[in-house]
């Protein structure tokens, strides 16, 4: 790999390539930002080709031409929208959509620090962006186009998304993914899921998807447990995510602090929450206006308004993007709509005063 960052770039394995992945970059990005992923896939025997930003169908097709194995189209952010749009013409064997922007996005980051928080919690990638002269700051303020009107291609699709993504709330992709698609949502992951703090497990999930395409490799299905309960890997109809649970634990600590400022470290220790996860949760609560923060030696967080004025629904929207994600088609659509309204009404009438007197 020896091309300038703003031109097309290719990473190749030392031996025979098992297939080619063509990456379409998102807002503000350029091919050089995918060096880490390119090196990882090359070690696993895959070629990674990143056309120049704005590449057309002919250039993307050329990037996949001559592949000795599977041909996969991968897009990140608006690149995911472009990959979906081009899939009909390029006809890849597989499609990977990472951080696809849909639904109701939050406010664009106000400054560079906010953009870094929205994009990645990986210290290495944050440092790379801060020192990169080719990275386009403030590009996330550009309004993305809507998802293509064309249906997804008749090919395997992997959705990669962070459940803490403030740019593209995860609820949007749940309504777009088809029943047979592979959906991987990373706990506490933010927008640049391929370059976030958990990039290793994301790359591992990507390689698993690629190997299934190329060689049909897969794990044998485990027999379901004899005891009654939800099937392994399936969420119950009503499910409290780890992220929402962490948010409520942190807010309980702030309620108990009665207006005093509490550091993330102190909240994590007191409430048994992983510090890395809590940092992202508190950023989401701050962006939603539920808490305020202060820097410096006496820094930390406090509630932005009295506990009686913050509803549990506010917390759910801040951490999950919406109260519920339900299908709006089929004969049961009115039933699911009633359920969503009932849950919303219940959570709206409960405030953080319910956490007062919490004994941890």
pLDDT digit string, tens, across residues 74-107? 999 999 999 999 999 999 999 999 999 986 666 7
For residue range 4-47, what is the model confidence (pLDDT) as tens digits? 344 569 999 998 899 999 999 999 999 999 999 999 999 999 99
Is residue 231 scored above 50 in pLDDT? Answer: no
Strand 94-98, strand 70-76: pairing: parallel
CA dihedral sign of residues 309, 310, 311, 313: positive
Top pLDDT among 145 and 217 is at 145
- Nearby residues of 55 by Cβ (< 8 Å), 6 or more positions away: 8, 24, 63
| Mean predicted confidence (pLDDT) in 252-264 | 91
- Work out the angle at residue 159's Cα, subtended by the Cα atoms of residues 154 and 164, and round it to the nearest 5 degrees: 160
How high is the pLDDT of residue 336?
79
pLDDT of the residue at 8: 67
Return the pLDDT at 6: 45
- CB neighbour list of residue 272: distance below 8 Å, 6 or more residues apart: 249
- When the pLDDT of each residue in the chain is averaged and rounded to a whole number, the result is 86
What is the tens place of the pLDDT at every residue in 185-227? 998 899 999 999 999 999 999 999 999 888 777 776 554 454 4
**Rounded CA separation 156/147 (Å):** 18
pLDDT at 232: 44
- Residue scoring higher pLDDT (220 or 319): 319
Q: Is the pLDDT of residue 160 over 70?
A: yes
pLDDT of residue 236: 55
Percent of the chain with pLDDT over 70: 88
pLDDT at 80: 97
Predicted local confidence at residue 119, as pLDDT: 95
Is-above-0.85 flag for pTM?
no
Question: Environment class of residue 307 by beta-carbon count within 10 Å: exposed (0-12), middle (13-18) or buried (19+)?
Answer: middle
The number of CA neighbours under 13 Å toward the Cβ of 310 is 27
């Amino acid at each position: 790999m020896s091309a300038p960052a703003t031109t097309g770039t290719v990473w190749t394995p030392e031996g025979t390539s098992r297939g080619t992945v063509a990456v379409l970059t998102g807002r503000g990005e350029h091919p050089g930002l995918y060096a880490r992923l390119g090196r990882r896939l090359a070690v696993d025997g895959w070629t990674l080709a990143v056309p120049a930003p704005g590449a057309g169908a002919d250039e993307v097709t050329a990037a996949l031409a001559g592949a000795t194995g599977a041909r996969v189209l991968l897009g990140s952010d608006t690149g995911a929208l472009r990959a979906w749009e081009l899939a009909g013409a390029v006809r890849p064997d597989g499609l990977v959509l990472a951080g696809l922007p849909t639904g109701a996005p939050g406010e664009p980051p106000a400054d560079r620090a906010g953009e870094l928080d929205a994009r990645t919690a990986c210290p290495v990638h944050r440092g790379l962006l801060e020192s990169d002269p080719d990275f386009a700051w403030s590009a996330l303020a550009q309004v993305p186009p809507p998802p293509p009107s064309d249906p997804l291609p008749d090919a395997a699709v992997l959705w990669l998304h962070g459940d803490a993504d403030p740019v593209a709330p995860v609820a949007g992709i749940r309504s777009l993914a088809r029943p047979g698609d592979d959906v991987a949502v990373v706990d506490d992951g933010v927008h640049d899921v391929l370059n976030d703090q958990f990039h290793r497990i994301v790359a591992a999930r990507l390689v698993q998807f690629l190997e299934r395409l190329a060689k049909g490799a897969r794990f044998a299905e485990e027999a379901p447990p004899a005891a009654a309960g939800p099937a392994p890997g399936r969420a119950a109809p009503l499910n409290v995510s780890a992220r929402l649970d962490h948010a409520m634990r942190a807010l309980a600590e702030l309620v108990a602090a009665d207006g005093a400022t509490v550091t993330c470290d102190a909240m994590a220790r007191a409430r048994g929450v992983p510090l890395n996860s809590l940092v992202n949760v508190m950023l989401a609560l701050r962006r939603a206006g539920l808490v305020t923060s202060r820097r410096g030696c006496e820094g930390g967080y406090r509630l932005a308004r009295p506990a009686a004025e913050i509803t549990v629904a506010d917390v759910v929207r801040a951490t999950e993007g919406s109260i519920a994600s339900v299908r709006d088609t089929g004969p049961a659509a009115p039933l699911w709509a009633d359920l969503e309204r009932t849950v919303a009404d219940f959570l709206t009438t409960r405030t953080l005063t319910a956490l007062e007197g919490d004994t941890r």
